[in-house]
């Protein structure tokens, strides 16, 4: 079985790498956070000091990093993957970055005979932990087929969506839909609460109809329980929507609704909620309406008030 290098052991990368170990893969890992590296070492991974060392020891190199600049630095920079990777190796960048950067990194690796897929994920930390992520892949069919068993150790849905960069275009589309969904859920639950209707009953009533969605089922219960720890941070969704808007403007697609949601997220960041889960978008609307969405307290529920 091929040795896999894994670079980036954050909120998503750490559980993803653990699932690869559980699936029987040998891992060599690297991260700037020592505690995360130590945790993976305890789980059975080998440790390397630099991305170059990771690549030199691996047939497959997975990167799971915050954004485009970090991917370029780790893969193409000093002591980067490109300096250590063997010809014929394959890099799977599972970060969510700008599609044009995926293509730039791919082209630089190709000059060294190294293959690449862009393979961003959706599902957040819970699905990273239980290995049921949705993985959207761009690249060559033969490379996709080779890595499919590896992806299936981390995800429940793995789809090749086109050539290099297509995975990140698909992820950007995903992030539009998720952001707009959460905004709509927030508006609806705040309106129902202010009108005097139990928001939990509203959620239960609408979830089986056309308004039902995976986003609704994932976020409404957390909003009702006031659980805003990530999850998926507002700061990361801001990063993704910045890539959305950059890409959409480059290809000539105005996105007025996405732009409005971006400003809501920016307002929450200014209010100190950038590290909260994106479900905290409801707090923007709560502030405007001077009301809080939550389950009725047990005393009220029992008394019928």
Strands (E) across 127-258 are located at 133-138, 155-162
- Helix %, strand %, coil % for the chain, to 5? 55, 15, 30
DSSP string, 220-264: HHHHHTT--S-SSBHHHHHHHHHHHHHHHHHHT---HHHHHHHHH
List CB contacts of 203: < 8 A, sequence separation 6 or more. Answer: 189, 216, 220, 221, 224
Count of beta carbons in the 10 Å neighbourhood of residue 93: 32
Backbone angles phi, psi at 78, to 5 degrees: -60, 135
Q: Which two tokens stand for residue 102?
A: 């995926």
Q: Which two tokens stand for residue 244?
A: 């959305």
Three-point CA angle 250, 253, 258, nearest 5° = 105
Please report where in the chains the tokens 């060559």 appear, as a residue: 140
Question: Of 189, 147, 138, 131, nearest to 165 (Cα)?
Answer: 138
- Among 3, 171, 287, 290, the active-site one is 171
Active site residue 171: yes
Separation of alpha carbons 62 and 31, rounded Å: 12
Please count the residues of the chain: 305
Contacts of 255-262 spanning 24+ positions with Cβ under 8 A: 255/176, 257/180, 258/176, 258/179, 258/180, 260/183, 261/179, 261/180, 261/183, 262/179, 262/238
**Positions marked active-site:** 171
């Amino acid at each position: 079985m091929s040795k896999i290098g894994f670079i980036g052991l954050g909120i998503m990368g750490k559980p993803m790498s653990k699932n690869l170990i559980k699936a029987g893969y040998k891992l060599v890992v690297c991260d700037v956070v020592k505690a995360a590296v130590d945790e993976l070492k305890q789980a059975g991974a080998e440790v390397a000091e630099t991305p170059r060392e990771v690549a030199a020891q691996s047939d497959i190199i997975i990167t799971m990093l915050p954004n485009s600049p970090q991917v370029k630095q780790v893969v193409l920079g000093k002591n980067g993957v490109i300096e250590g990777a063997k010809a014929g190796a394959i890099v799977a960048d599972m970060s969510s970055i700008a599609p044009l950067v995926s293509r730039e990194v791919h082209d630089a690796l190709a000059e060294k005979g190294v293959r690449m897929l862009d393979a961003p994920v959706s599902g957040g930390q819970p699905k990273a932990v239980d290995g049921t992520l949705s993985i959207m892949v761009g690249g060559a069919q033969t490379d996709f087929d080779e890595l499919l068993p590896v992806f299936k150790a981390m995800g429940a849905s793995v789809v090749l969506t086109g050539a290099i960069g297509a995975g990140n275009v698909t992820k950007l589309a995903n992030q539009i839909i998720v952001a707009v969904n959460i905004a709509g859920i927030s508006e609806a639950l705040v309106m129902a609460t202010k009108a005097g209707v139990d928001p939990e009953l509203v959620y239960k009533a609408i979830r089986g109809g056309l308004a039902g969605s995976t986003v609704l089922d994932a976020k409404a219960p957390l909003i009702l329980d006031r659980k805003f720890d990530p999850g998926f941070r507002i700061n990361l969704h801001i990063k993704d929507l910045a890539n959305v808007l950059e890409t959409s403007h480059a290809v000539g697609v105005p996105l007025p609704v996405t732009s409005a949601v971006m400003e809501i997220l920016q307002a929450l960041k200014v209010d100190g909620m950038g590290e909260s889960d994106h479900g905290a978008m409801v707090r923007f609307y709560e502030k405007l309406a001077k009301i809080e969405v939550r389950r009725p307290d047990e005393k009220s529920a029992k008394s019928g008030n």
